[in-house]
Amino acid sequence: MLPPEDRLIGAQLHRYIGDKLYWVLHAPRQTGKTTFLQHWMRKINAGDEAISCYVSLERCQKTDALEKVMPTICNAIIEQALLYEIDPPELSIDDPSSMLSNILINWAQKTAPLPLVLLFDEVDILTGDVLISFLRQLRGGFMNRGIGKFPVSIALVGMRDLKDYITVAKDGIAPSPLSPFNIKTDSVLLGNFSQDEVAALFAQRTAETGQQITDEALAYIWEQSRGQPWIVNSLFERVTMRILRSDDYSTVTLEHLKIAREQMILARETHLDSLAVRIREPGIRVVMEKLITGEPDPQLTESEGFRVCQDLGLVRKERGTPMVANPIYKEVLARQLTYSTQEAIPEPEWQWEKPDGSLDMDTLLREFQKFWRRNSEIWEQKSDYTEAFPHLLMMAFLQRVLNGGGKIDREYAAGRGRMDLAIEYKEKIYIIEIKLIHSYDSPEEVRNEGLEQLTKYRDKIDSAAPAYLVIFDRRSETKQKSWDERLTWTIENDITVVGC
């Protein structure tokens, strides 16, 4: 357990109670917000300067009827107070537009002479008129806040900053200075673990049990998770409790963690599965298509879809470049998008291994050309991801053939018009780069650009690896040509160029 308050970016916890401040905390799901709130509540209540209560609004999901939600919120307050052995407020039947305000006034009176501090979690559950009423009632009590009058400090916690809630509630209209919660002092972000914090987390286990972990294993966890707390903890838990038995304190190695990573992805654990479901939503789909195909879009990071992806923790920006947040998410999303297609591809009956057991990539890609010829036009009509369809079909085909015997590393080159694949099969690496030709492209320029990009990518991975540039011509005039003209196979220096 790492001290969660150390991960709050921009927080001034020491001021929020003494200076009677209201504030917002936001971060993606499964990053530790609830853990922090309950930890801070216990810390406050262990002293004698204030009374604090954590209140989750999760039960208010999927309804926007004010007369139903406000009593639900008030009942949640009472139940949470009883759960944490805090003297609860009294609920009176009242107008929904003042019910919350009245119960908080009553509660502040009951906690006097100590100030009342409230920590509202899952605020992003509230929508529309319910959200506006909730905020207005808090704002109405703000001017008179104080001991015995109204909570002195309130935190609103969820995936998004408060201004984003209000914008959504007002059908996309940004909040004005007179918005219902212009009283907030700070908007605080709960960050991912740093690389040092990942090491510090396992160091606690080493101190407890003596179990060690290699430096390369620690570096791998950081590289695969980018510090996402749920992933870090899940990998550590799986490797120490399942791959190694709970009473086996052998040193954790890179190989242990690679097995844990694959098991975690295949198990489709709840957190990963819930993210995978969201990628079918239209706004998120647009963002993910741009990242998969690498097509440049100067407006992408300003779109509502990109902001939603950030709130979910699906994407991040590095030096201004948008990308999938970490390699684990990249793998989960790719597998989710290709799973049904992969299952529909018949088991290969042709020989795709050479006599020495290595992968016959030439044969595999020639068979893919045949598969593309027979199935692409019909299957594309059923795909949600039409722009990224060639990439997804090729990945599904490769995954179906390798069927657990190999590994595919995917690099989404956002804004650079390509996707790179590094295939590892029986300790040998094969490099594939996927490019698209659009109506506005010159085929020669796409080809030359692809050759240059592929050479650089191969040099980074394995300069001796066989390399393949696969180009999908998406121009309408190309579709008028015969398949014999469209499917090509040429060699450029030592790179095989495959036309589809």
Q: Residue 113's CB: how many other CB atoms inside 10 A?
A: 6
User: How many Å from the N-terminal Cα to the C-terminal Cα in the chain?
Assistant: 52
Task: Identify the pLDDT of residue 167.
Answer: 56
CA 208, distance to chain mean position in Å, is 32
Instruction: Give the largest CA-CA distance in the chain.
Output: 85
Rounded CA separation 39/195 (Å): 23
pLDDT at 9 (0 to 100): 78
Q: Is the pTM of this model over 0.85?
A: no
**What's the rounded Cα separation, in Å, for the pair 237 and 231?**
10
pLDDT at 346: 83
Phi, psi of 224 (to 5 degrees): -80, -30
pLDDT on residue 110: 95
Consecutive sets of 10 residues in the chain, 500 residues long: mean pLDDT of each? 80 87 87 91 94 95 85 95 94 87 96 96 88 90 94 91 59 48 73 93 95 97 94 94 89 95 82 78 86 83 86 85 89 82 82 88 95 91 84 90 80 73 91 92 93 93 94 90 94 95
Q: Which pLDDT does position 79 carry in this prediction?
A: 96
